[in-house]
Amino acid sequence: MALDIKMKVLVVDDFSTMRRIVKNILKQLGFERIEEAEDGMQAYSKLTGGDFQFVVCDWNMPNMDGINLLRKVRSDPALKDMPFLMVTAEAEKHKVIEAIKAGVSNYVVKPFTAEVLKEKMEKIFEKTGPRG
Amino acid sequence: MPDDMEEIITDFLVEAEETIDRVDPLLVGLEDSGFDQETINEIFRGMHTIKGAAGFLGFQQIVDVSHRAESILKKLRDKEIAPARPLLDVILRSFDTVRLLLKQIKAKGHEGQAGPDTARILQELDAALQAAGPLGDAGRRKGPEEVRVRAVVIEGAGGPAPESAAGCGSDRDGHASKASAPMPDKGAEAASADKKNDTIQTLRIGVEKVDHVMNLTGEVVLIRNRLLNLAGGLEQKYSSDPQMESLVEAISFLDLLTSDMQSAVMKMRMQPLKKVFGKFPRLVKDISFSLGKQVDLRISGEQTEVDKSVIENIADPMVHIIRNAIDHAIGPPDERLAGGKPAKGTISITASQKGNHIVIEVGDDGKGIDVEKVKSKAVSKGLITEAEALDLGHEAAVNLIFLPGLSTNEVATELSGRGVGMDVVKSNVSKLNGFIEVITKKGAGTMFRISLPLTLAIIHALLVEVEGSVYAIPLTLVDETMKVEGAGIRDLMDKKVLNIRGRVYPYFELAWLLEGRTGQRGGFNGQNGQDGRDHRYIIVVAVADSRFCIGVDGLLGLQEVVIKSITGSGSAAPSILGATISGDGKVILILDLGYIARNLFDKEHVNT
Domains of chain B listed by start with CATH number: 2-161 (1.20.120.160), 207-268 (1.10.287), 271-453 (3.30.565.10), 458-607 (2.40.50.180)
Q: What is the mean pLDDT of residues B368-391?
A: 83
Using the Cβ of A17 and the Cβ atoms of chain B, whether some distance falls under 8 Å is answered with yes
Tell me the nearest-neighbour CA distance from B17 into chain A, angstroms. 12
Residue B343 has pLDDT above 60, yes or no: yes
In sequence order, what DSSP letters do the residues of B121-167 get, joined into one string?
Answer: HHHHHHHHHHHSPBSHHHHHHHHHHHHHHHHHHHHHHHSSPPHHHHT
Task: Read off the pLDDT band of B184 (50, 70, 90).
Answer: very low
Residue B260 has pLDDT above 90, yes or no: no
Residue B414 has pLDDT above 70, yes or no: no
Torsion, Cα B478 B482 B487 B491, to 10 degrees, reads: -10
> B476-505: string of b/e by CB count within 10 Å (b at 16+)?
bbbeebeebebebbeeeeeebbbebeeeeb
Q: What is the mean pLDDT of residues B298-324?
A: 87
Q: Determine the pLDDT at residue B53.
A: 86
- Neighbour tally for B166: CB within 10 Å: 18
Pairwise CB contact (< 8 Å): A108 & B52: no
Report the mean per-residue pLDDT for chain B: 76
Q: Which of A46-55, B393-402, B410-419, B567-576 has the lowest mean pLDDT?
A: B410-419
Nearest to B192 by CA among A112, A62, A51: A51
Helices B593-607, B422-431: axis angle to 10 degrees equals 150
Task: Read off the pLDDT band of A84 (50, 70, 90).
Answer: very high
The pLDDT tens digits for B87-99 are 888 888 889 889 8
In A, which residues are within 8 Å of B55 by CB distance?
A: 89, 110-111
Q: Determine the pLDDT at residue B3.
A: 57
Residue of A nearest to B204 (CA): A16
Residue B168 has pLDDT above 50, yes or no: no
Residue B370 has pLDDT above 90, yes or no: no
HSE-CB of A13 using CA atoms within 13 angstroms: 24
Q: Determine the pLDDT at residue B545.
A: 67
Distance CA A115, CA B5 (A): 18
The pLDDT tens digits for B198-249 are 455 677 777 788 888 888 888 888 888 888 888 888 888 888 888 888 888 8
Tell me the nearest-neighbour CA distance from A78 into chain B, angstroms. 4
A124 φ/ψ angles, rounded to the nearest 5 degrees: -65, -45
Using the Cβ of A114 and the Cβ atoms of chain B, whether some distance falls under 8 Å is answered with no
CB A57 within 8 A of CB A12: yes
A126 φ/ψ angles, rounded to the nearest 5 degrees: -55, -40
Nearest to B161 among A48, A61, A116 (CB): A116
Distance CA B313, CA B301 (A): 18
B44 versus B191: the higher-pLDDT residue is: B44
Q: Determine the pLDDT at residue B211.
A: 81
Q: Domains of chain A (ranges plus CATH)?
A: 9-126 (3.40.50.2300)
Tell me the nearest-neighbour CA distance from B266 into chain A, angstroms. 25
Strands (E), B310-434: 345-354, 357-364
B378 φ/ψ angles, rounded to the nearest 5 degrees: -65, -35
Distance CA B418, CA B415 (A): 8
Q: Determine the pLDDT at residue B448.
A: 93
Q: What SS3 state is found at A69?
A: helix
Select the highest-mean-pLDDT range: B24-38, B270-284, B534-548. B270-284
CB B220 within 8 A of CB B258: yes
Report the mean per-residue pLDDT for chain A: 86
In sequence order, what DSSP letters do the residues of B468-514 get, joined into one string?
Answer: TEEEEEEGGGEEEEEEEEGGGEEEETTEEEEEETTEEEEEEEHHHHH
Q: Determine the pLDDT at residue A11.
A: 95
List residues bridging with B346 in a β-sheet.
B296
Residue B336 has pLDDT above 60, yes or no: yes
Counting every residue, how long is chain B? 608
Q: What is the mean pLDDT of residues B324-353?
A: 89
Pairwise CB contact (< 8 Å): B53 & A109: no
Residue of B nearest to A38 (CA): B199
Residue of B nearest to A113 (CA): B160
Q: Which of A85-89, B23-27, B58-62, B541-545 has the lowest mean pLDDT?
A: B541-545
CA distances in angstroms from B221 to B116, B263, B269, B315, B562, listed in the order given: 47, 12, 18, 31, 7
In B, which residues are within 8 Å of A114 by CB distance?
A: none
At residue B172's C-alpha, the angle toward residues B167 and B173, to 5°, is: 100
Nearest to B160 by CA among A122, A117, A88, A106: A117
In A, which residues are within 8 Å of B156 by CB distance?
A: 91, 109
B497 versus B411: the higher-pLDDT residue is: B497
Pairwise CB contact (< 8 Å): A107 & B165: yes
Residue A73 has pLDDT above 90, yes or no: yes
Pairwise CB contact (< 8 Å): B52 & A15: yes
> A80-110: string of b/e by CB count within 10 Å (b at 16+)?
ebbbbbbbbbbbbeebbebbbebbbbbbbbb
Single-letter amino acid code for the residue at B359: V
Task: Read off the pLDDT band of B518 (50, 70, 90).
Answer: very low
CB B596 within 8 A of CB B575: yes
Nearest to B171 among A81, A100, A111 (CB): A100
Q: Best mutation site among B168, B172, B196, B199 for testing chain A: the one with the most A CBs within 10 Å? A: B168
Alpha-carbon dihedral sign for residues B144, B146, B149, B151: negative
At residue B57's C-alpha, the angle toward residues B51 and B58, to 5°, is: 85
Nearest to A128 among B42, B164, B176 (CB): B176
Size of interface A-B (CB pairs under 8 A): 145
HSE-CB of A58 using CA atoms within 13 angstroms: 32
Q: What is the mean pLDDT of residues B485-511?
A: 81
Residues 6 or more apart whose Cβ sits within 8 Å of residue A92: B146, B149
In B, which residues are within 8 Å of A118 by CB distance?
A: none
B519 versus B363: the higher-pLDDT residue is: B363
Distance CA A60, CA A99 (A): 13
Residue B522 has pLDDT above 70, yes or no: no
Q: What is the mean pLDDT of residues B445-473?
A: 85
Nearest to B361 by CA among B436, B462, B411: B436
Task: Read off the pLDDT band of B602 (50, 70, 90).
Answer: low
Complex ipTM > 0.85: no
Tell me the nearest-neighbour CA distance from B46 into chain A, angstroms. 9
Q: Best mutation site among A7, A13, A15, A17 for testing chain B: the one with the most B CBs within 10 Å? A: A17
B472 versus B382: the higher-pLDDT residue is: B472
Residues 6 or more apart whose Cβ sits within 8 Å of residue B351: B273, B277, B300, B301, B302, B304, B358, B359, B360, B361
Q: Which of B15-24, B397-406, B526-535, B590-599 has the lowest mean pLDDT?
A: B526-535
Nearest to B324 by CA among B431, B202, B447: B447
Return left, alpha or beta for A30; rule: phi > 0 is left, psi -120 to 50 is alpha, else beta: left
Distance CA B150, CA B148 (A): 5
Tell me the nearest-neighbour CA distance from A87 into chain B, angstroms. 10
Q: What is the mean pLDDT of residues A100-123?
A: 88
The pLDDT tens digits for B6-43 are 888 888 888 898 889 888 888 888 877 778 888 888 88
Q: Determine the pLDDT at residue A55.
A: 95
Number of H helices, E strands in chain A: 5, 5
What's the predicted TM-score (pTM) here? 0.52
Residue of A nearest to B71 (CA): A90
Using the Cβ of A46 and the Cβ atoms of chain B, whether some distance falls under 8 Å is answered with yes
- Neighbour tally for B203: CB within 10 Å: 4
Distance CA B551, CA B538 (A): 5
Tell me the nearest-neighbour CA distance from A3 into chain B, angstroms. 16
Single-letter amino acid code for the residue at A78: A
Residue A25 burial (C-beta neighbours within 10 Å; 0-12, 13-18, 19+): buried
**In chain B, pLDDT over 70 holds for what percent of residues?**
77
Distance CA B543, CA B598 (A): 9
Task: Read off the pLDDT band of B134 (50, 70, 90).
Answer: low
Helices B37-57, B2-28: axis angle to 10 degrees equals 160
Distance CA A11, CA A58 (A): 8
